[in-house]
Amino acid sequence: MTGLHDSIRIGSLLLPNRLVMAPLTRCRAGEEGIPNALMAEYYRQRSGAGLIISEGTNISPQAKGYPGTPGIWNPEQVKAWKIVTDAVHSAGGRIFIQLWHTGRLSHPDLLPPGMHPVAPSAIAGEGAVRATGNRHPFPVPRAMSTEEVEATVQDYLHAGSMALQAGFDGVELHAANGYLPEQFLNDGTNQRTDKYGGPATNRYRFILEILQGLLNIWGEDSVGIRLSPSGVRFGTFDSDPVQTYGGLVRKLNELPLAYLHLVEPLTEIPENYLAQVLPHFRKIYQGRIITAGGYDATLAAEVIHQGEAEMVAFGRLFISNPDLPERIRIREYLNEPDQRTFYTGEEKGYTDYPFLQSNC
């Protein structure tokens, strides 16, 4: 019977366990989105994870939707990320970068002068964006031209090449949680009439073009994708999510991906959405699956034992427990995460969570 602490191979990478550190935005990369020594220390501390997936990282200046989030489009950022990846590797860890574009979930104050948030269609997100110290309603985004969509695919590939130079072990396309790829995929946010809109096969074209391009750069087993088939964050909505995501996941079977990363819903969902995504997509997807969303050690061990998923990602528990795999292995108590310091506080609530005594 496979356990959480059994190793698993992904291409040339041997993960010593199946506990993945989920992508976690922590907003500590400053105005210019350049990683720093504190971030290197934070990731180094968590190198015991079978795999670290970095926080969402902006692929271009246009992609940004939160203050203090890092980027991966210029040489300064590459140089700074190299310090992070070196720190993780020196401590024996492995790290993928999560490639991020927030699309309509942004604000002009977060973008370079003259830029406005963009999206497949001019439909505003629900809720508020944190920019220049205040919260503002999401503005109505500008609908992208077909050429702009094609250029954005190229932005993802540029970021993917930069990530290779920065020493990452792979890339994850963030296509979950209401951000740009999901805005293309769902018909509630995509009313386009060009090749990127209309039937689901057109709506997932954007995602498939990016994945294919990233695979050309990175090769097989080095590109993953994160999806939230039952996610309705910021008013993202699809009239038939089971069909839409089913069609996409069947196409993913044709690509030599490292994994499919599925997020379970943590909030209430509409009637036609799946309450549990993993059992449904396990039947469709033939590759490795990482499951995420609300797992504790017991539940995680269960899905691994039952072969429902190959790996389990932990988010909040990895924030508060740098040595989470070891704590779970020896059934030690877990530190509680402090929500107040998720997105602010420099080292507080970031690099100062205690290790087990033996690991100090």
Ligand X SMILES: Cc1cc2nc3c(=O)[nH]c(=O)nc-3n(C[C@H](O)[C@H](O)[C@H](O)COP(=O)(O)O)c2cc1C
Q: Point out which residues bind ligand X (CB under 6 A).
A: 22-25, 55-56, 98, 174, 176-177, 226, 263, 292-295, 314-317, 342
Residue ranges of alpha helices (H) inside 25-179 are: 37-45, 75-90, 146-165
CB 106 within 8 A of CB 159: no
Q: Which of 179, 196, 273, 295 is catalytic?
A: 179
**Residues 278 and 292 sit within 8 Å (Cβ to Cβ):** no
Task: Name the residue nearer to ligand X (CB basis): 122 or 266.
Answer: 266
- Cα separation, 187 vs 11, in Å, equals 35
> Between residues 50 and 197, which has the closer beta carbon with respect to ligand X?
50
Rounded Cα gap, residues 39 and 21, in angstroms: 15
Integer Cα distance of 355 and 40 in angstroms: 17
* Nearest approach, Cβ of residue 35 and ligand X (Å): 14
> Is the backbone of residue 167 left (phi > 0), alpha (psi -120 to 50) or beta?
left
Tell the smallest beta-carbon distance from residue 339 to ligand X (Å). Answer: 8
Catalytic residue flag (residue 259): no
Q: Which residue is nearest to ligand X (CB)?
A: 315
Pick the closer one to ligand X by CB: 100 or 138.
100
Q: Quote the least distance from Cβ 264 to ligand X, whole Å.
A: 8
Amino acid at 68: G
Q: Where are the alpha helices (DSSP H) in 306-354?
A: 316-320, 324-329
Give the pairing of strands 142-143 and 51-58: unpaired
Matching residue, tokens 């929500």: 339
Considering beta carbons, is residue 25 or 321 the nearer one to ligand X?
Answer: 25
CB closer to ligand X, 278 vs 292: 292
Radius of gyration (Cα) for the chain, nearest Å?
Answer: 19
Is the CB of residue 99 less than 8 Å from the CB of residue 224? no
Residue type, 19: L
Closest to ligand X by CB, 98 vs 190, is 98
Token digits for 325?
């795999």
Residue 134 β-bridge partners? 131
Question: Which residues are known catalytic residues?
Answer: 179
